[in-house]
Structure 1
Amino acid sequence: MSPRRAAAAIAFLYLFLGYIWISFSDRFLLTIAAESSYLTELQTYKGWTYVTITAGLLYLLAYRALQRERNLSERDGLTLLLNRHMFERELASEIQYAHDNQQNLSVIMLNIDGFKQINSHVSLEAGDKFLIAVAGELREACHQQALIARFGNDEFAIALPDSTWPDDVLPLLQQIQRRIAHIRISESPQLSFTASAGLALYPRDGSAASELIDAADLALEQARQTERGSYKLYNAELSAIMSNKARLLFDLKSAIEKRQLTVVYQPQFCVSENRMTGLEVLVRWNHPERGIIPPCDFIPLAEQNGLICGITDFVMQQAISELTEYGLLYRDVQRVSFNVSAADFNGNESCDRFLSNLALLPGDWSVIELELTESAALLNLEGVKQVLEKLTEKGVQVSLDDFGTGYSSLNTLRLLPIKEVKIDQSFVKDIVQNKQDAKLVKTILAMAQALHLRVVAEGVETHAQANYLMKAGCEEFQGYLYARPMPINHLVTFINNLKQQQRAQS
């Protein structure tokens, strides 16, 4: 109801009650005391009764209105936890009390890992239910003196007065993480979530509310980048690391916008036939001041900050352009593999992005292969499936990278249009010495053969590894033993030398 209608309804109710009171109270008094000398005194009592009742109603209305206004200004509307403003204000009071009484205090920042899956793939209502359930678990786990707040979306804050690390705080944090991991939503009961946490301690990490919150937030960010469901305690070194990452992120955004990244190509081989079967395209970043930045440093940073789609688009467009310009595509290169992320399949525009990038191809799209890891596929299985089905209709092939490192590889193969699996280099590295790795590789090869899937072993660096894989039945290889990643001009030379070698052998 709008404020105008609510006010009109209250005014109408007041007028109605006043009319009823005036109309019937006088008649009642005249009926019972018309000739009484106490009539004037009774009229006075009647007036005071009316004033008392209306004052009570006015108090009730004012109280409810002011309470609602206070809740809106102090509480999160969904969970009824404190909002950020009130949390900071209450935390400042607790810090002052801790200072006066020489007590410790702890601040915990919590973030639900992967929460966006609920809103994007189930419903917003389900997401709200989950957040309300998290708030309930926090209330039950924490003692009455704790301050609990929701800062926004899936981020929560907890302040624990008179608490010491780790004796008081760590058991509580672990209990909270277990409780959140057990929350289920009825619309999608198979989904479960972890909570990452960052912690800051008073007086060690700050003497003001904002300082402690910022410190805990930095620790939370580091925890999220390290491992899902983990926690980090703030320290000065951590602050320096996060500051460095912030600068690196700023530079990465600039490099993507200005197209300062480059691509390199690593050939894949069928050794028994001595021929190149395809290329994997990899991205490189040569920072103007820091030099070469390893992909393991900037790719996770891009994924965590919504930049990976820009990198994917650049790599696809640049590689197709270079391979076409040098006349390699379709003639010498029959398959080009691109690494894609789970984020590449988020949103309604994801399919259009791939179609736009691949529209640059001068010929058949079957030359293109998209490589995605199993863990990435499972983050957004339905979205990945829908996009890949549309692309495979146009001839695009799909490869499952890091095969065997996930928890449900067979299910992923069943649900997605996979044509190739790549044996992870972690299994190849010790395949000669490690019997467990050798058994696993043989199992993967047998399964791939039964399902008519192509297999590529990556990370092959020694002849012993290659010989073992060939005897086990693997035909395609990728690794430093055969070729390192190289820029386009070196690739042209490499292919020409390979042709000469083949002609000499024939």
Structure 2
Amino acid sequence: MSPRRTAAAIAFLYLFLGYLWISFSDRFVLTLAAESLYLTELQTYKGWAYVTVTAVLLYILAHRALQRERNLSERDGLTLLLNRHMFERELQSELTYADDNDQNLIVIIFNIDGFKQINSHVNLEAGDKFLIAVAGVLRESCHQQALIARFGGDEFALALPDARWPDDGLPLLQKIQRRINQLRVPEIPELSFTSSAGVALYPRDGRSAEKLIDASTLALDEAKTNSRGSHKLFNAELSQVMSSRARLLLDLKLALDHNQLTVVYQPQFCVQENRMTGVEVLVRWHHPERGMIPPSDFIPLAEQHGLICGITDFVMRTALHELIEAGLLYRDIQRVSFNVSAADFNGNESCDRFIANLSELPGDWSVIELELTESAALLNLEGVKQVLSVLNKRGVQVSLDDFGTGYSSLNTLRLLPIQEVKIDQSFVKDIVQNKQDAKLVRTILAMAKALHLRVVAEGVETHAQANYLINAGCEELQGFLYARPMEIDHLITFIGNLNQQKRAQS
């Protein structure tokens, strides 16, 4: 009911009850003392009774309204935990008390790893129920003096007054992480979820609520970067690392604005037929002061801070422009693979972005292949499915990168329009010595053959690795043994030399 209708209903009820009171209370008083000298006194009592009842009703209505307003301003609407604003406020009060009484305090911020899988695989309602269950775990695990909050999304915070690390905080943290790991979503009971945590200590890491929250957030980011399901304790070295990342992020934004990024191409080969089957396009960043920055340093940073879509657009547009201008596309190069991120599929404009990037293609779009990892696909499965469905109808191919390293590879193959899988280089590295890796690679090859999928093994660096893969039935290889990533000028020369060799052999 709208506020206007609610107010009108209350006013009408008040008028109706007032009418009944006036009508029947006067009759009642006259019945008791029609000829009595106490009539005036009874009328006075009746008036006071009316005022008293009205005051009680007014108190109840005002109390409920103010309580509801307070809950909305102080509590998270879903879990009824403190919201971020009130957590900071209450934490500051606890810090003042801790300072006066020479006590320690621990701040922990949690994040549920892979939480978006619930929204992608099931629906938002299932995700909300899971978050409510996590809130229940936190309430049941902590003592009454603890401050518990939900900052938004799948991020939660704890403040433990008069607690020391690790004696008090670590056992509690591990208990909470174990219990979260035991939670299940009924619709997808096979999936379990871990939680990462960042920890900050008072007074060591800060003397204000804001500084402690910032410190624990930085520690959480580091924990998620290193390993899911872990925790990280904030320290001065981590502060320096995060400060370095902040500078790197600023430089990356400038690099995008000033076109400091470049693209390189790594050829892929069908060794048995002695031909190049395609190229994978990779991005490079040559920093004007720090030199070459590894993609492993700046790509995760770009994904965390919303820059990855700009990088994807730059790479696709630049590579297609260079290949078309060099006359290589469709003639010498029949397939161009681009790495894409889960963030590339967020929002309604995602499909339009890809179409705009490919709009300059002079021929069939089947020459284009999008590579995404299984973990990226699971982060935003519905968005990925919708965009790939549209692009696949136009001919764009899809490759599942780092195959075998995810949680449900077969399920991903079933849900997405995949034409190719890439064997991760971590399996190729020790394939000759490691029987387990060799067995896994053979399983992948057999499965891909049954599903009529193309297979590319990446990270091939030795002849022993190549021979093993070829004998196992892998037709396409990629790695330093055959060609390193190269700029467009070198690629033109490389392809020219290959063509000369073919003509000489024929």
* Shift, 1:105, TM fit: 0.9
Q: Which residue of 2 aligns with 1:500?
A: 500
Unaligned runs of 5+ in 1: none
CA shift digits 1:293-335 (9 cap, x unpaired): 1011111112222222221221111111101101111221122
Cα pair distance change 1:407/1:483, threshold 3 Å = same
Query: What one-letter code is carried by the residue in structure 2 that aligns with 1:247?
Result: R
2:353 is the alignment partner of 1:356: no
CA shift digits 1:38-86 (9 cap, x unpaired): 3343333333322322222232233223323333332233332222232
Q: Which residue of 2 aligns with 1:13?
A: 13
Verify the 8 A CA contact 2:303 2:343 in the aligned structure 1.
yes
Q: Distance in 2 between matches of 1:12 and 1:449?
A: 75
Verify the 8 A CA contact 2:117 2:381 in the aligned structure 1.
no
Cα pair distance change 1:33/1:454, threshold 3 Å = closer
Look up the SS of the partner of 1:272 in the other structure.
coil
Q: Distance in 1 between matches of 2:191 and 2:256?
A: 34
Verify the 8 A CA contact 2:110 2:195 in the aligned structure 1.
yes
Matches within 5 A, 1:66-77: 66-77=66-77
Which segment drifts farther, 467-476 or 196-205? 467-476
Q: Which residue of 2 aligns with 1:210?
A: 210
Q: Which residue of 2 aligns with 1:445?
A: 445
Matches within 5 A, 1:388-467: 388-467=388-467
Verify the 8 A CA contact 2:429 2:465 in the aligned structure 1.
yes
* Shift, 1:269, TM fit: 1.8
Q: Which residue of 2 aligns with 1:163?
A: 163
Q: Distance in 2 between matches of 1:76 and 1:410?
A: 38
Q: Distance in 1 between matches of 2:262 and 2:475?
A: 30
Q: Distance in 1 between matches of 2:67 and 2:44?
A: 34
CA shift digits 1:158-185 (9 cap, x unpaired): 1111111122212222232333344455
Look up the SS of the partner of 1:273 in the other structure.
coil
Q: Which residue of 2 aligns with 1:254?
A: 254
Query: What one-letter code is carried by the residue in structure 1 that aligns with 2:91?
Result: L
Q: Which residue of 2 aligns with 1:289?
A: 289
Q: Distance in 1 between matches of 2:129 and 2:449?
A: 45
Verify the 8 A CA contact 2:116 2:379 in the aligned structure 1.
no
Look up the SS of the partner of 1:247 in the other structure.
helix
Look up the SS of the partner of 2:481 in the other structure.
coil
Q: Which residue of 2 aligns with 1:275?
A: 275
Cα pair distance change 1:143/1:5, threshold 3 Å = same
Q: Which residue of 2 aligns with 1:97?
A: 97
Query: What one-letter code is carried by the residue in structure 2 that aligns with 1:280?
Result: E
2:32 is the alignment partner of 1:29: no
Q: Which residue of 2 aligns with 1:131?
A: 131
Q: Distance in 1 between matches of 2:93 and 2:415?
A: 55
Q: Which residue of 2 aligns with 1:107?
A: 107
Query: What one-letter code is carried by the residue in structure 2 that aligns with 1:336?
Result: V
Query: What one-letter code is carried by the residue in structure 1 that aligns with 2:206?
Result: G
Q: Which residue of 1 aligns with 2:245?
A: 245
Cα pair distance change 1:278/1:105, threshold 3 Å = same
2:337 is the alignment partner of 1:337: yes
Look up the SS of the partner of 2:272 in the other structure.
helix
Query: What one-letter code is carried by the residue in structure 2 that aligns with 1:152?
Result: G
Report how many residues are paired: 506
TM-score with structure 1 setting the length: 0.92
Query: What one-letter code is carried by the residue in structure 2 that aligns with 1:159?
Result: A
CA RMSD of aligned residues (A): 2.5
* Shift, 1:392, TM fit: 2.8
* Shift, 1:481, TM fit: 1.2
* Shift, 1:134, TM fit: 2.9
Look up the SS of the partner of 1:61 in the other structure.
helix
Q: Distance in 2 between matches of 1:170 and 1:344?
A: 37
* Shift, 1:137, TM fit: 2.7
Query: What one-letter code is carried by the residue in structure 2 that aligns with 1:150?
Result: R
* Shift, 1:341, TM fit: 1.9
* Shift, 1:283, TM fit: 0.7
Cα pair distance change 1:322/1:162, threshold 3 Å = same
Cα pair distance change 1:41/1:397, threshold 3 Å = closer
Q: Which residue of 2 aligns with 1:378?
A: 378
* Shift, 1:133, TM fit: 3.3
Cα pair distance change 1:415/1:10, threshold 3 Å = closer
Q: Distance in 2 between matches of 1:390 and 1:187?
A: 28
Which segment drifts farther, 124-133 or 139-148? 124-133
* Shift, 1:187, TM fit: 6.6
Unaligned runs of 5+ in 2: none
CA shift digits 1:442-486 (9 cap, x unpaired): 333333333333322211111222222233333322111111100
Look up the SS of the partner of 1:92 in the other structure.
helix
Query: What one-letter code is carried by the residue in structure 1 that aligns with 2:494?
Result: F
* Shift, 1:5, TM fit: 4.5
Q: Distance in 2 between matches of 1:95 and 1:113?
A: 30
Which segment drifts farther, 126-135 or 420-429? 126-135
Q: Distance in 1 between matches of 2:7 and 2:392?
A: 61
Cα pair distance change 1:167/1:263, threshold 3 Å = same
Look up the SS of the partner of 1:486 in the other structure.
coil
CA shift digits 1:201-220 (9 cap, x unpaired): 11111122222112112112
Look up the SS of the partner of 1:406 in the other structure.
coil
* Shift, 1:264, TM fit: 0.4
Look up the SS of the partner of 1:312 in the other structure.
helix
Q: Distance in 2 between matches of 1:120 and 1:440?
A: 28
